[in-house]
Each structure stands twice: as structure tokens, then as C-alpha cells.
Structure 1
Amino acid sequence: MTQRTAFPVTLDEQLCFALYSTSLAMTKAYKPILDRLGLTYPQYLTMLILWESDDVTVKDIAARLNLDSATVTPLLKRLEAQGYIERLRGTEDERLVFIRLTKSGVALKRTARDVPGEIFCATQQTPEFLTRLRDDLTKLRGTLNDSLDHD
């Protein structure tokens, strides 16, 4: 007879709740910092992508954020209205929309350079712990995405 694993049944024992509530706490920690920059958390993540590699498609941004293009488009429109990006149709394929940083968007990177350090201080954890946690969560996300892709 094989032994069955006893799975947790209370809210506080659930991995999903630990991840969810930690994600909420992290977003809450970012809020006052990003408010000073005039960005929401999803806008900040989008700008991080563009600061890494400018002139990318909406589809590429959506893929990096694990979102669909329809969710990303309104967020990009707001960044464009703030003057940080411009949206340009592809010349070879007009269905493609490329996102490019404006001078203001490039300058915002300098203004945002202290954000990671402020968040690091807020966590009150060691760099080693945070790196290991990030790597473990990235691995978990990959495993979950792989299992969903095979369904």
C-alpha cells in the first residue's frame, strides 16, 4: 500500500496563499517608491523591459510579462500619454507594433536607478536569500507553465 501525502488544508498552510499575499506585500512596498516616479507597478515592469532592450514589439513585451497583448496595450497607451514611449507600426508588417523609448523614457531610467536598492532594504533579507528565492520562484513558474502547456 502506498502512503498518501497529507496536503495542507488551512489557508495559512497553502503555498498559493503564501505566494499571493507575498506578491501583494511586494506590490505595496513598491507603491510609494513608484508613486514618486509617476508609475504603476505594471508600468515599471514594462519600463524595465524597455530599458533592457528598446524597440521591441507589443507581443514581445506581453510575453516577457506573461500577459496577453490586450492587457498590455492600455498600459502602453498610458506610458505613451506620459511621454515615456512611442508606438510605431512595423513597416514590413503593419500588424506589428514596436515600442520605443523617448528621451523622457531614457531619462526616467536614471531617476529609477534607486528603486531596486530601496526594495532590497524593505525586504530586510540578505542578497543570497533573495537570489535563491528568485531562482526558486523562477523554477517553480517554469515548471507550472510547462505542466499547463502539456494539458
Structure 2
Amino acid sequence: MTDPLSLESQVCFALAVASRNVIGVYRPLLEPMGLTHPQYLVMLALWEQAPLSVKELSKLLRLDPGTLSPLLKRLEAVGYIRRQRDGQDQRVLAVSLTPEGRGLRDEAEKVPPAIVRRLGTNLEELQELHRSLNRVIAAADGAHH
């Protein structure tokens, strides 16, 4: 019988190692664009539906605003995004893409197929893994409430 406390049998350990390793595969693809992985996630959200408020972006990315704020400041400093107060509600900070940020999307479109190649797996396997992870995320979300 397997020890229930063995490191290798822990789901949390497998998820942590997989996360670090997969993010490491992204790094050399993102560096030429001047993006870290968390910044890439911000850009993905904005390419999909900019402009977004910081609150909306925080919810989409599942990051607290305190973690998100430095990412946004760096993206603004390199000229990919603009943060400005909403005209109707000064409490709302809107995040939009600059022309440079929109233009970066063309380069970013090369990332997903390169990741599939570098992981040496097929798209169907990755899609099934994605579905499984989303089920785990939903279950963990439910366990928190």
C-alpha cells in the first residue's frame, strides 16, 4: 500500500512541479516580447476583451489587485497598456491596450503552437488536461466556500 503522505503521491506536488516546468517552457518564447508569464496572462485577457477595469481583470485572472498592480505598472512602463480613470466613475481604473500592445498580439499568436511542439504532446491531450484542470479548479473553488 502506498504511503498517503509520500511526496510523489501528492496532487499538490504534481501541480506545483507541472506549473513551474510548463511556465519555464514559456519563458524563452515570451522573453523576446519583453513579457513575463504573469504579464502574458494580463495581455491575453486584454487582447480578448480590452478595455477592462482593474477589478474585472483581477477577477478574470484570479489575482488580487495588489498582485496585479505591479504587473500593470510594468506593462504601462514598456508601453503596452494604458491605465486611466473611467470618465463616468473616477473610482474605476480602466486598462486599455496601446497600439504597441495590440501589435504584440501578432507575435504572441506563435506562442501556443510552439508550446504544443515543445511539450511534445498533441493538442487533444492538452485540451483534455485543460478540461481536467478546470474541474480541479472548480472543485477547489467549491471547497473554499
Q: Same fold (TM over 0.5)?
A: yes
Q: Percent of aligned pairs with the same residue?
A: 39
Count how many residue pairs are aligned between Structure 1 and Structure 2. Answer: 145
2:50 to 47, 54, 74: 54
Give the structure 1 partner of residue 33 of structure 2: 37
Q: Map 1:91-110; keep pairs closer than 5 Å.
A: 91-110=87-106
Deviations 1:84-110 (A, max 9, x none): 000010122211100000000000001
CA–CA separation in structure 1 for the residues paired with 2:28 and 2:126: 21
Instruction: Report the 3-state secondary structure (helix = DSSP H, G, I; strand = E; otherwise coil) of the residue aligned with 2:96.
Output: strand
User: How high is the TM-score relative to the length of structure 1?
Assistant: 0.92
CA–CA separation in structure 2 for the residues paired with 1:59 and 1:143: 24
Letter aligned with residue 31 of structure 1 = R
CA–CA separation in structure 2 for the residues paired with 1:91 and 1:81: 22
Give the structure 1 partner of residue 10 of structure 2: 14
Please list every run of 5 or more consecutive structure 2 residues that lacks an aligned counterpart in the other structure.
none
Give the structure 2 partner of residue 64 of structure 1: 60
Instruction: Report the 3-state secondary structure (helix = DSSP H, G, I; strand = E; otherwise coil) of the residue aligned with 1:50.
Output: helix
Instruction: Report the 3-state secondary structure (helix = DSSP H, G, I; strand = E; otherwise coil) of the residue aligned with 2:5.
Output: coil
* Residue 8 of structure 1, CA deviation: 2.2
CA–CA separation in structure 2 for the residues paired with 1:87 and 1:107: 18
What CA RMSD, in Å, does the superposition of the two structures yield over aligned residues? 1.4
User: How high is the TM-score relative to the length of structure 2?
Assistant: 0.96
Please list every run of 5 or more consecutive structure 1 residues that lacks an aligned counterpart in the other structure.
1-5
CA–CA separation in structure 2 for the residues paired with 1:7 and 1:109: 47
Which has the higher Rg, Structure 1 or Structure 2?
1
CA–CA separation in structure 2 for the residues paired with 1:126 and 1:32: 21
Deviations 1:99-139 (A, max 9, x none): 00000000000111100011111111121111111001011
Letter aligned with residue 28 of structure 1 = G
CA–CA separation in structure 1 for the residues paired with 2:58 and 2:29: 24
CA–CA separation in structure 1 for the residues paired with 2:105 and 2:49: 12
